[in-house]
Amino acid sequence: MTGPVERADDDVLLGQLGEALRMYDEPPADVVTAAKDLFTWRTIDAELAALTFDSLLDDERAAVRSTSAPPRVLTFEAHGLTVELEVETGPAGRRLLGQLVPPVVGELDLDTAAGTQRVSVDEMGRFVADLPDEPQRIVLRLTAGPSVVTMVAVL
């Protein structure tokens, strides 16, 4: 059984402890920076896919003016997998069509400053997503094998 003196001592001790902890309410800036730097290493085992084709850079037809913009075609390769992307721009906005060769079932994350949109990849390796008008980072998570991470600025 605790008496009034012990309870008062506990209250004083808790008050002093609370004051001491309030001094360190925010973590130091260098600790926050180190934590953010470590967070970027969470996908170190993923493979960065190499851009092997971009219609804006490699296609002569892209230099020809036309009334309608042709879709942008991008091809990435990593670890025996080819990721084919087509970005269509129309009155309703931008849309991403893609296929994995050979077909692999998985999930595709479109990371932007606004958040992440997750899209399923079907048994034929196909996927479709609506794109916001900002740069994209595309992360492909496969059901088997290592993840393929592609850094894509879809303009």
Tell me: do 37 and 54 sit in the same domain.
Answer: no
| 97 and 26 in a common domain | no
Do 30 and 72 have their domain in common?
no
pLDDT band at 63 (very low <50, low <70, confident <90, very high): low
Statement to judge: residues 10 and 54 lie in one domain: no
Residue 128 has pLDDT above 90, yes or no: yes
Question: What pLDDT, on the 0 to 100 scale, is given for residue 37?
Answer: 76
Instruction: Please tell me the number of Cα atoms within 13 Å of 78 on its side-chain side.
Output: 21
Q: Nearest Cα to 101, choosing from 78, 81, 72?
A: 81
**Looking at residue 114, which CATH number applies to its domain?**
2.60.40
pLDDT band of 146, cuts 50, 70, 90: low
pLDDT of residue 67: 58
pTM here is 0.63
> Could you tell me if 119 and 51 lie in one domain?
yes
Residue 98 has pLDDT above 90, yes or no: yes
Q: Report the mean per-residue pLDDT for the chain.
A: 79
Q: pLDDT of 107-126, one tens digit each?
A: 888 877 778 888 899 999 99
| 104 and 135 both lie in a single domain | yes
User: Which tokens in the block code for residue 123?
Assistant: 């048994």
Tally the domains of the chain.
Answer: 2
Q: Answer yes or no: do 66 and 122 share one domain.
A: yes
For 5-57, how does the pLDDT look when each residue is reduced to its tens digit (9 = 90+)?
567 788 888 888 888 877 767 777 888 888 887 776 766 666 678 889 999 88
Residue 23 domain boundaries? 4-41
